[in-house]
Amino acid sequence: MKPASFTYVRAVTLDEVLRKLQQWGEEAKVLAGGQSLMPLLNMRLAQPRYIIDVNGLPEMTGVDWSPETQTLTVGALTRHRELLQHPLIEAHAPLLSEAARYVGHLAIRSRGTLGGSVAHADPAAELPLVLTALGGTLIIQSVEGEHSLPIGDFFLGYYMTTLRPDELITAVKIPGLASNSGYAIAEFSRRQGDFALASAAAVVTVDERGTITTAQCAAGGVAPNAITCPTVNESLRGARNPEDFSQAAHQLENFIDPPDDVQASGDYRRHLAVEMMTQAIGLAYARAIGTKEAWA
């Protein structure tokens, strides 16, 4: 199939984009990498009257580290391949780089963008998952101005977010990892590059004795959107061995209720989520204490 007819506009400035979004509202779609939008257009699941191309806008590109606030700022137009290669991301948010390795295939990673993945809000997508675990904050702009929103407050459900038709994600801010922290993502998919049937991400911080003091865990593919796991986080406080990690991961069993679908039953996804969470916690802990072998 081919897309329905539309008017194509290549924006030159961010102000132009925001004015067009205010003017056209729900009749417009933003084109960044296009890896999600183009299939929707071709299948006519989306039929906007206007396509606004935002590629090349300097206000939405670049990666910057602030030593004062210990915060990494990543432009929404950052390609997945840049997440894999940029030294500041590798130094301060390596979980984001690691997650990008799971995204699709080379062609997709060459065009897909960070902001596009977040805005699309696929519940099985890797980047929203790890940004949830990292406690990322979205920078959102409209003609009315700019505001910040914790990513946990952004997702509403399957492919649904709080983003208004006249708003645009321009950047993501991520707090830097402490030196005594570890991170990991684990997922299970049918084939390399497929969306995960279940996935998990973990960020843990340990004290000088190797005991977990704080944990931020998230699960993907088992709910309408990537979710934080407060019961897992609480259970990990004071943990320091594989039995503790497994017990904490099993807290997911009563916290999630994935539906049955053509890919897997809800019970199977629940089982996979526990296994993936156990693996993610074990590897995150190993990295936090400076070993190479996962503790799980």
CATH code, 17: 3.30.43.10
**Distance between CA atoms of residues 193 and 5, nearest Å:** 31
Q: Looking at residue 105, what is its pLDDT?
A: 72
Q: Looking at residue 110, what is its pLDDT?
A: 76
Regarding predicted confidence, which is higher, 149 or 192?
149
Name the CA radius of gyration of the chain, rounded: 19
Whether 100 and 168 map to the same domain: the answer is yes
> For 66-75, 99-108, 144-153, 266-275, which range has the lowest pLDDT when averaged over its residues?
99-108
Whether 222 and 274 map to the same domain: the answer is yes
**Taking residues 242-252, what's their average pLDDT?**
95
**Distance between CA atoms of residues 99 and 282, nearest Å:** 17
pLDDT(291) > 80: no
Residue-wise pLDDT tens digits, 80-96: 999 999 999 999 999 99
Residue-wise pLDDT tens digits, 63-86: 999 999 999 999 999 999 999 999
Neighbours of 86 (CB within 10 A): 20
pLDDT(41) > 90: no
Regarding predicted confidence, which is higher, 109 or 266?
266
Last residue of a domain, one of 151, 174, 197: 174
Percent of the chain with pLDDT over 90: 82
pLDDT-derived band at 295, boundaries 50, 70, 90: low
**Distance between CA atoms of residues 213 and 106, nearest Å:** 38
Whether 121 and 24 map to the same domain: the answer is no
Q: Looking at residue 121, what is its pLDDT?
A: 93
**Distance between CA atoms of residues 121 and 154, nearest Å:** 9
Closest CA to 288 of 186, 181, 137: 181
Q: Looking at residue 191, what is its pLDDT?
A: 77
Judge whether 198 and 277 are in contact, CB under 8 Å.
no
pLDDT(4) > 80: yes
Judge whether 217 and 236 are in contact, CB under 8 Å.
yes
58 belongs to a structural domain: no
23 belongs to a structural domain: yes
Residue-wise pLDDT tens digits, 205-230: 999 999 999 999 999 999 999 999 99
pLDDT-derived band at 106, boundaries 50, 70, 90: confident
**Taking residues 41-61, what's their average pLDDT?**
92
Neighbours of 279 (CB within 10 A): 21
59 belongs to a structural domain: no
**Distance between CA atoms of residues 192 and 35, nearest Å:** 17
Neighbours of 211 (CB within 10 A): 13
Whether 83 and 125 map to the same domain: the answer is yes
Residue numbers of the domain that contains 168: 64-174
Judge whether 132 and 94 are in contact, CB under 8 Å.
no
Judge whether 236 and 167 are in contact, CB under 8 Å.
no
pLDDT-derived band at 156, boundaries 50, 70, 90: very high
Residue-wise pLDDT tens digits, 121-141: 999 999 999 999 999 999 999
pLDDT-derived band at 292, boundaries 50, 70, 90: low
Q: Looking at residue 169, what is its pLDDT?
A: 98
133 belongs to a structural domain: yes
C-alpha distances in Å from residue 170, one per residue of 58, 86, 121, 254:
10, 18, 16, 36
- Using left for φ > 0, alpha for ψ between -120 and 50, and beta otherwise, residue 152 falls in alpha
Strands 212-220 and 227-228: antiparallel
294 belongs to a structural domain: no
Residue partners of 208: CB distance under 8 A and separation at least 6: none
The one-letter amino acid code at 112 reads G
Whether 196 and 164 map to the same domain: the answer is no
Q: Looking at residue 294, what is its pLDDT?
A: 57
The domain tally of the chain equals 3
Q: What mean pLDDT, rounded, does the chain reach? A: 93
> Hey, which of 2-6, 33-37, 179-183 has the most confident mean pLDDT?
179-183
Regarding predicted confidence, which is higher, 293 or 26?
26
Whether 45 and 79 map to the same domain: the answer is no
- Specify the CATH number for the domain of residue 142: 3.30.465.10
